[in-house]
Amino acid sequence: MKAMSTFLSETLLYGYCRDKFVCLPNTSNVLLKPNSLNYSLKSLPNAATFCRFNNLPTVKAAGKSVTDTSSVRTSESNDLLFRETFPLRRTKTEEGKIFIRLHKGKDEERWELSVGCDLPGKWIIHWGVTFSGDTGCEWDQPPNDMIPPGSVFIKDYAIETPLKKQSEGGAFHQVAIDIDPRSEIAAINFVLKDEETGSWYQHKGRDFKVPLVDYLQDDDNAIGTKTVFDFWPGALGQIPNMLVKAEASQSKVQDSKSDFKEPKQENRRLEGFYEELAIVKKVVTDTSVTVSVRKCHETAKNLLYLETDLPGDVVIHWGVCRAESKEWEIPAAPYPPETTVFKNKALRTLLKPKQGGNGCCELFTLEKEFTGFVFVLKLNDNTWMKCMGNDFYIPLLSSSSLTNEHSQVGSSDAPVPARAEEADHTVSYTDGIISEIRSLMSGISSERGQKTKTKAVQESILQEIEKLAAEAYSIFRSSSLTFMEEATAEPEISEPSPKVSSGTATGFEILCQGFNWESHKSGRWYMELKEKAADLSSLGFTVIWLPPPTESVSPEGYMPKDLYNLNCRYGTIDELKDVVNKFHEVGIKVLGDAVLNHRCAHFQNQNGVWNIFGGHLNWDDRAVVCDDPHFQGRGNKSSGDNFHAAPNIDHSQDFVRKDIKEWLCWLRREIGYDGWRLDFVRGFWGGYVKDYLDASEPYFSVGEYWDSLNYTYDEMDHNQDAHRQRIIDWINATNGFSGAFDVTTKGVLHSALERCEYWRLSDEKGKPPGVVGWWPSRAVTFIENHDTGSTQVQIAKAERDVYAAIIDKKVAMKIGPGHYEPPNGPQKWSFVMEGRDYKIWEAS
């Protein structure tokens, strides 16, 4: 009975506790040997508890002989061998509606958009507006006179407003947004969020859109395209509202008397509407099942007592197993009441209600020949309660041998079939660790925090400390800008260890980007690139960066879908292996382009949102961050900036990191990649990158932390310390295991060349203004040829029309129309070449 299907409710073990003592509670119907029963309790120094059973009346159930024990008492012949409490997480769905109404307000010259929900929760509307004629962005912040009280600004594009409960004890929540029909607003966009669960709710997988002009009526996600007679729920009951069209003549009269600017669209008009949309909310409840096992000395049988606080009718689907086998068997009678045989493979018993009505329980008598009790719980036809995706396993052993087998509780030889179930276990368990660390960080000391923990728990705590340290450092950085400068004189670079690589190689690599944005169009780019391998090697390139290899929604490869499908627009997996081998033959290392921040989904969830993945890594929405309203993930909050075109992956999930590490290692083995170019690393914490590099041991790694430079109005600031500090912070989070593209230098250099402002190429301390000025060994410059190296540049001149530098005391160069000649002293310089606005010398 290992192959048990799990359906709608994913319930699993996410932690457990142990206790030495248990008192067998009074129960109206337990299964014991037909003898008389006395019940008393005695705790001995060896932590054992005993009971004696005598003369119980016999009853019948399912054709089998059973025992009625309406009054149970314990005496001194029972050893407590085992007790476990298994917390269970149960997910159920609640159905409700979202109510949306556009109507005239109290002031006849203004309109009102009302949004309501009849499900209990802590509801927030995340909203923004689209202005007429604005084609650049659908979301913008509304005028102040539209914003309801209690709203919060979200960056520069949205507002969050709480929905208010309309009656005490009721579930209906509502918010009203005031609209001036003469404004420039073309549409209102919003999504709903339940802060109790962290879930986001959209319309047909997209944002809700309420069009206020005719030309937006045809959008797929537009709502409110017809006028209806509606009943609006709320504190005053169901009040009918006839929504009528605003007459065009009245609007014209009002507009002529107004000081407002006439909207750009001539077909602007407002119609009232009312719509109800179905909504499904997942509610997670925490319950538990407790199992205790005692040995009866008089009969030498095991007495297993199971109780749970699960509501309603609960059926236990159970069996027994023998030594060195967890195959299900049906034991001999007697069985508890309400027991039936299921397909000659297992028994099903309806658990009886506990006294007081809180949950249910049952007692099982098991022969000493069996070494294990296996079970699952069934709530209804579609809901099975399992242990981390497997059957619950309870050892039936003597107290002397119990210790050695105790770790098997709740496990089985079969692997966990559902990765998502493993995720719930991990999240719930680590949530407790995070809570403990946060308590320590806030200065709260407790004995619980000082207890000795297992090695596995200690490692988990260390990981959480790293995350919290990064969070604390980010908070500190926001209030006080600091940076670390690397000394100009660097220690000699030794060859990396053959076993463990830091991902920074020798520091003297010359990197070539082996593709451009159009390369995918040929369909055979790998083969075309293979023909150029020898030429690239002769030009001095030591590393080549190949395009993203995975199946992708976008042809360029940056919207990955199935990570293990390496047949893409650039060529097949076999062609990829071929070109990698060719570059290795000519002495060039190969970087794979790893897109780890986001991934495109294969399927929609029940709300129509694309956040369910297929392929080899069939993650569900727990792999998606919870704070991106477009994809409604059930993971934790993002550790970086969201990429809004695809679901952002939650790297704090252990199962996600495990899968990504396995994938990177597979690419190293299967394809032969020597390292990684990491896409959009601004989207997740650099500490996770450290974890991935530790696992995959790349020769070289470079992250793309692309960020906007600092501007005052339209003028680029000379001081770009804050910009390069963000890149430095990311490198530091990787423990210095990865370099990063020097985006700061690229942006400054472009401005200097385009505007003849070469003075920009030196910071206030006379150093290069980018990452290369602070941490040169981790700066991967990409001016044109993507050179990389750790040599510090000595800036010789930086003025309006000229920039000059000396590199490693071997090469001197200048760019710009201004004059510069390297000084001839102990070191002599020889002219090498020159062109328009540049000149190069080398040391004699």
> In terms of Cα–Cα distance, which of 293, 320, 288, 285 is closest to 307?
288
* Gap between the Cα atoms of 303 and 530, Å rounded: 71
Q: Which residue has the tokens 């089985």?
A: 412
Bridge partners, 839 (sequence order): 814, 834
Given 422, 621, 679, 757, the catalytic residue? 679
> In terms of Cα–Cα distance, which of 291, 289, 290 is closest to 373?
291
Hey, how many other C-beta atoms are within 10 angstroms of the C-beta on 422? Answer: 21
Which phi and psi (to 5°) does residue 803 adopt? Answer: -130, 135
Alpha-carbon distances of 435 from 142, 269, 357, rounded to whole Å: 38, 53, 33
> In terms of Cα–Cα distance, which of 144, 146, 151, 96 is closest to 126?
151
Helix 419-441 vs helix 654-670: crossing angle, to nearest 10:
120
195: annotated active-site residue: no
Q: Do residues 688 and 639 lie in contact, with contact meaning Cβ atoms separated by under 8 Å?
A: yes
Given 486, 704, 787, 842, the catalytic residue? 704
> In terms of Cα–Cα distance, which of 599, 614, 606, 698 is closest to 645?
599
Bridge partners, 125 (sequence order): 161, 192
* Gap between the Cα atoms of 508 and 505, Å rounded: 8
For residue 673, what are its two tokens? 């990649």
Q: Do residues 28 and 360 lie in contact, with contact meaning Cβ atoms separated by under 8 Å?
A: no
Peptide bond into 334 cis (omega under 30): yes
Side chain identity, residue 404: N
Contacts of 22-25 with C-beta under 8 Å, sequence gap 24+, read 22/49, 22/80, 22/83, 22/292, 22/305, 23/49, 23/74, 24/51, 24/72, 24/74, 24/78, 24/292, 24/294, 24/305, 24/363, 25/72, 25/307, 25/354, 25/361
- Residue 294 exposed, middle or buried by CB count within 10 Å (0-12, 13-18, 19+): buried
Q: For residue 89, what are the contacts with CB-CB under 8 A and spacing of at least 6? A: 10, 11, 12, 14, 284, 285, 286, 287, 424, 428
Q: Do residues 362 and 349 lie in contact, with contact meaning Cβ atoms separated by under 8 Å?
A: yes
Q: Do residues 746 and 703 lie in contact, with contact meaning Cβ atoms separated by under 8 Å?
A: no
679: annotated active-site residue: yes
- Residues with a catalytic annotation lie at 679, 704
